[in-house]
A and B are shown apart, each in its own frame.
Chain A
Amino acid sequence: MFNFSLKQLSDLLAAKKISSAEVTREFLGRINRLNPLYNAFITVNEEASLQQALVADTKIAQGLAQPLTGIPVAHKDIFCAKGWRTTCGSKILSNFIAPYDAHVVERFKERGMVILGKTNMDEFAMGSSSETSYYGPVKNPWDVRAVPGGSSGGSAAAVAARMAPAAIGTDTGGSIRQPAALCGISGIKPTYGVVSRYGMIAFASSLDQGGPMARSAEDLALVLNVMAGFDARDSTSLDRPPEDYTRDLTKTLAGLKIGLPREYFAEGLSDDVAQAVEAAVGQYRKLGASTVEISLPNTKLSIPVYYVLAPAEASSNLSRYDGVRYGYRAPQYNDLLDMYRKTRAQGFGAEVKRRILIGTYVLSHGYYDAYYLKAQKLRRLIAQDFAEAFKKCDVIMGPTSPTAAFNIGEKSGDPVQMYLSDIYTIAVNLAGLPGMSIPCGFSHKKLPVGLHIIGNYFSEARMLNIAHQYQLATDWHKRMPEGI
């Protein structure tokens, strides 16, 4: 059962051939057995999950089943879910029980979907390896010595190890796509504003976007159908008519024009990743697509721009963790200032502190123009690059990450090397575009490689179609790690 697609599970549930309780128990059992190996979950609450499964089964029995009713999904521990501990991978929220549901969680609940558990992640989504979590590093199911990518590494590992049929994550600079690539699964970050950020703990508000992670493009489309939608509580949520993201899955790719950015196949890209991506592009030509070389000349600016803007927003977003109202408070302190200092010194990890410091610095009086304002201007140039590119092609393809999964500890001492692993994904967030990653082969160390697909604004349905057609012709997405 654990290898069934969401469509299969959904059909079996609707036909009452299996129950949500059975499906949920199956995956909880797998979590029980496999999570000690991969540390993909921070919190599992079997009782709460099974309770939701029973509600779903009642719904189904009453003939009220909708698509995905009764399906259990793993949630990145960044989404507030009422009654669930929601830590964001941090010590500072280690005792925080969310008193409300994120918009996304509400929508899942309305569908009668089950929360399978809260997945591990880089602290406050700051990281590309899931090593910065207070709850210990996540391990890659393809090789436990390797990282799963990050920050949604727990969600990626959970899906790769079949501990969950699907998961949700968030992507600020690649945090859905890069771990999807490194764990051999599919993931999509929608256009900024498609999924409500309400209840999704903020890292960098102008970049954060939630999205699904699953084993296939078809599964992604089904989950995105539930996640996406206008929410008046998020002022950046886009008020657009609801879409069926599965509507174009079966369309042919004949005539599709794929743009290949020169800058994405240049220095820094490892040979094995390049080969897998080029083979995937070859497959697309077989499916009727043509390719055109394009240029995104400001690509090299995206990392410096991102590492000004994201920390600036984060330094302010994380100010609320002050020990006053909720969350961790240092046990001993002399006065208010001392309480703040000790609480935050003890409650935040090194990477979060680094980014708060960078962010505070770039917003400081006298530095604001040179850093923040300049970065905002460059951000527009980067978006302009894409606008130009989409005049020449329908979709952009390249590698999701320059290398396959690196080893735990390999880059954790060198932040710049770590930041470079998001070189291809970050610009997409800066432009607010949708991006996805699908498995397209393996490295020479037999670790998964991801194909990065970047679409124009609101072209998610087309991107899912492009991914789905590839997955009909190939079986990379069906490969499983050994020993699970």
Chain B
Amino acid sequence: MDDIRKKAKELLESHAVDVVIGYGEGTAGKVRAIFPRKAEDAEKLIFDGRCEQNLAVYLLKHEIKHMGKKAIVATTPVMRSILQVASEYQLTQDEVLVLGVSPEGKYVEIADFAAMEAYLKTQDFGIPAKDKAILDKLEGMTLEGRWDFWLEQLSPCFKCYACRASCPMCYCTRCFVEVNAPQWIPIAANELGNVEWHLLRAMHLAGRCINCGECGRACPLEIPTHLLTFKGVEDVKEDFNVVAGTSASMDSLLSSYKADDKETFIR
């Protein structure tokens, strides 16, 4: 961690970057995102097992995006998010300097996107075992059982959109729920509307989700919204051999096609 603090301090002192996005101490043992802009504030940066929030979401937040050059403390999910949004032309290499962190908490020097891609090839980013267990359990249920499960899970949702707001890939300035002529997805948090919202968001993330799980963590009602997007991650790997966030120049799954995409159900 000292290496990261030192590097951050250097970058701020030399004005190589205008802001460092990292983790700091929060309320009563929680961790929060911090944004040191003065070299002495780099001391506040921490890194330990509590640091899970996907900080990449801040790179595209208007007031931070326009602060100039940004450095970001980046774990594997953050790196993948950066590559994914870069592949979607939302971020350029000269806007961001990546301060890599290995799963063991060690500083990893990352010169550019190519270096990040190379580093990621050495990392494992499967879906966590406990989520995989739930996905498998759901797959073993009947269709009706799954419908009942999801209706029950999603009916407490009050559409705060914390899931959307915390996702680096949900950067649309006008989300599909904000289309109001007509208002396709109800604003009010009714049962079916909630299913539509979560299912369609998962669909919009197909081939883009990098399974950080932030949406599930962000939910104030502890609804496992991440299970839907994780299922998408599994499916696209199986059907298309696509793994999001591994290259700054990969084609987006649903904006591209292969003439020989194989399906079995079109009559």
The answer to whether A and B interact is no
**Which B residues have a C-beta under 8 Å from some C-beta of A?**
none
**Which A residues have a C-beta under 8 Å from some C-beta of B?**
none
